[in-house]
Amino acid sequence: MKTLSNKRIPLIFTLIGGTVMLMSFVTNTTIQQKGAWVAPASADTIKNPLKGKADAIAAGKKIYGTYCNVCHGDKGRGDGIAAAGLNPKPADHTSAKFQAQSDGAIYWKLTTGRAPMASYEKTLTLVQRWQVVNYMRTLKAAK
Ligand code: HEC
């Protein structure tokens, strides 16, 4: 049976050390990502092309009921059927804090996504994403 030569032992420690460092880097990056989700300031300048339009709100409601309610809940309170197992929890779209941000910031977030929420850039068209933003604006009244 071969035994490890003394020369190889430092190499093994270097490999273990490197792996530990890499793992802590990955963990830190994940934790950092879970702080408050803030859209870049540039998102605030994106204009809402369908602002307050009734047909856009109605179309957005259907999209929300198809793609978003599983996590965010039917009334947008963040209590959908898949919510319990998620970390972080789905946002409450009826909260004053959520509603205080600009239309552009909301649009940017659902376009970009952040785990465990997907990006909707490919799933929804630009018009559909604005429809759902305008629907989300009505959720504060529905509380
Ligand atoms: C798989 C579950 C899931 C689905 C489906 C989902 N979301 Fe989310 N959503 C989340 C989670 C979790 C967060 C919180 C993410 C965070 O804070 O990092 C979130 C956050 C958001 C935010 C940002 C909230 C804030 O506080 O600013 C918006 C906007 C949003 N979702 C819109 C939508 C829309 C619109 C849809 C449907 C097209 C949707 N989401 C579908 C899980 C989901």
Region 85-106: mean pLDDT is 96
HSE of 77 in the Cβ direction (CA atoms, 13 Å)?
Answer: 7
130 lines ligand 1 (CB under 6 A): no
Distance CA 23, CA 25 (A): 5
CA quadruple 24, 88, 108, 43: dihedral sign: negative
Tell me the pTM.
Answer: 0.82
68 lines ligand 1 (CB under 6 A): yes
What is the whole-number distance in angstroms between the Cα of residue 24 and the centre of ligand 1? Answer: 27
What is the whole-number distance in angstroms between the Cα of residue 54 and the centre of ligand 1? Answer: 23
114 lines ligand 1 (CB under 6 A): yes
Percent of residues, the chain, with pLDDT higher than 70:
76
